[in-house]
Amino acid sequence: MKQSMAMIGLFTLMSVTTVQANIWQALPEKAPAPKDNPTTAAKVELGKTLYFDPRISSTGTVSCNSCHNVMEGGDDSRPNSMGVNGQTGGRGAPTVWNAAFYSTQFWDGRANTLEDQAIGPMTNPIEMGMKNHDLVMQRVSKMAGYQVMFKKAFGNSDMSIDQAAKAIAAYERTLITPNSPYDLYVKGNKKALTAQQVKGMNLFADLGCASCHSGPAFNGQANVKVGTPVLMKFPTFVDNSYVSQYDLASDKGRENVTGKAEDNNMFRIPTLRNIAVTAPYFHTGTVKSLDEAVKVMAKTQLNIDLNTSQTNDLVAFLDSLTGPFPQQTMPRLPVTPGKSVITE
């Protein structure tokens, strides 16, 4: 009996070690930046200030941080995000943490870069509600503090929407969370994970979860050219109660972008980094807990019914993907003495 248990333990160790050599990768300590937008301290500071400023919305009430709160999980904990005038969109806000490691942005991959994504919500009538980007920059340019910050970041007085996009993207590329317990384990610290987490890690690979959720960010988008959508069919298996219970199939996904029937229910593969702190789950925001989300994924994507032990092991492993969050401080926003840019 002891020999059998020893063999099982050896098999588990060999299995994890073998898989680790093939698919387990630590998150880089620094996010990649495009050649035309190198990350600088001045750009990051400007981008951070714009990110927290609600005055770039029509009502002066919604900032980037409203839906992607960097003081917690990088989302807003809502099933559907709320924009100007209390309007809600049709999808939950994906976390901004580690968004720098995506090849495309948004659930449907409709934006190629962080720069593209950064300015999209500004003119969305539900999200930030500005009529156009010219009006956004007219408002921003009236604030003397921003004039100084743009000049420092870009060396000129253009104050364009492209510069605003580059600054916000530069800040977002600092929002990464390496050195989670999982990362430390992959780097060689075999005490960084519990026995249950190692068991869940092995199960994650054995069940096929890593066929989609691969790479350092667990989003299948490592070494993929920026602008290339990496998508998965969700739900894949529809003959189960979860699809109707959580309304998983009514959103057409990327088909709404391309108009192609083959893109129906196709969504960008989301990162599993910090998944334990970004409930509720899926683009619908209808699944409230991580253990339930794990069971839903297993059934709808792999057609597997997990037992309680398997679910608990997978959740334990996913918990290990929560990394230390860089400390965030609230910026002092530029003031407009004696007037309001919102009411002008």
> Hey, which CATH number is domain 9-30+177-319, 1.10.3720.10, 3.40.50.12280, 2.70.150.10, 1.10.760.10?
1.10.760.10
Q: What is the pLDDT of residue 12?
A: 37
**313-342: pLDDT as tens digits:** 999 999 999 999 999 999 999 999 999 999
pTM: 0.92
**273-318: pLDDT as tens digits:** 999 999 999 999 999 999 999 999 999 999 999 999 999 999 999 9
Q: How confident is the model at residue 18 (pLDDT cuts 50, 70, 90)?
A: very low
Domain 41-172 listed as CATH 1.10.760.10? yes
**193-225: pLDDT as tens digits:** 999 999 999 999 999 999 999 999 999 999 999
Q: What is the pLDDT of residue 101?
A: 98
Three-class DSSP labels, the chain? CHHHHHHHHHHHHHHHHHHHHHCCCCCCCCCCCCCCCCCCHHHHHHHHHHHHCHHHCCCCCCCHHHHCCCCCCCCCCCCCCECHHHCECCCCCCCCCCHHHCCCECCCCCECCHHHHHHCHHHCCCCCCCCCHHHHHHHHHCCHHHHHHHHHHHCCCCCCHHHHHHHHHHHHCCCCCCCCHHHHHHCCCCCCCCHHHHHHHHHHHHHCHHHCCCCCCCCCCCCCCCCCCCEEECCCCCCCHHHHHCCCCCCCECHHHHCCHHHCCEEECCCCCCHHHCCCECCCCCECCHHHHHHHHHHHHHCCCCCHHHHHHHHHHHHCCCCCCCCCCCCCCCCCCCCCCCCC
255 classed as catalytic: no
Q: Within the chain, which residue ranges are assigned CATH 1.10.760.10?
A: 9-30+177-319, 41-172
Q: What is the pLDDT of residue 23?
A: 85
Percentage with pLDDT > 90 across the chain: 93
Question: Which residue in 127, 262, 292, 344 is the catalytic one?
Answer: 127
Q: How confident is the model at residue 22 (pLDDT cuts 50, 70, 90)?
A: low
**158-185: pLDDT as tens digits:** 999 999 999 999 999 999 999 999 999 9
